[in-house]
Amino acid sequence: MNWGKGIILGMCLFMAFIVVMVVFMFRQPDDYDKRYYEKGLAFDADYKKEKQVIIDNAKPAIGLTKTQLQVKFATPVNGTINFVRPSDGKMDKKIELPGTAAVNIPLSGLSAGQWQLVIEWTANGHAYLYKQEVLLP
């Protein structure tokens, strides 16, 4: 084998490697948020809600046991709690807040692992948004 055949063989192997990587890349699942544009437009509103939590010292107290998640607010609130699973968006769950100051959420429908709690509520004429990572047993 001479050097000309070696160069051609090397180029063919490199092109085959690139083709395999392109096929592999297209078979991977989408891991981006399909609503990124809408979220970008609403960023200022969400930032103001997060800032309002700090201004009013309205951070909810979150407690975790083996069977339930306890969320306590300073005053009765209306809103939602979103359980967001970073590894699988199909597992996300939304829970309505009943208008009380304390909520106990059973963990039976949620799998163990890392979750992000996104709590959005209104109280005393203000809108709030709070995010926290939790590790469910």
More confident residue, 36 or 56: 56
Considering the chain, what percentage of its residues have pLDDT values greater than 70?
Answer: 98
d(CA 31, CA 89): 9
40, pLDDT greater than 70: yes
The number of angstroms, rounded, from the C-alpha of 130 to the middle of its chain's C-alpha atoms is 13
- pLDDT for 58 beyond 70: yes
Element (H, E) at 57: none
> Strand ranges (DSSP E) for the chain?
61-64, 68-72, 78-84, 93-98, 102-106, 113-123, 126-136
pLDDT of 72 above 90:
yes
Contact 136, 83 (CB under 8 A): no
The predicted-structure confidence for 86-111, as pLDDT tens digits, reads as follows: 888 788 899 998 888 899 999 888 88
For residues 82 and 59, what is the distance between their CA atoms, to the nearest angstrom? 16
Helix/strand/coil for 1: coil
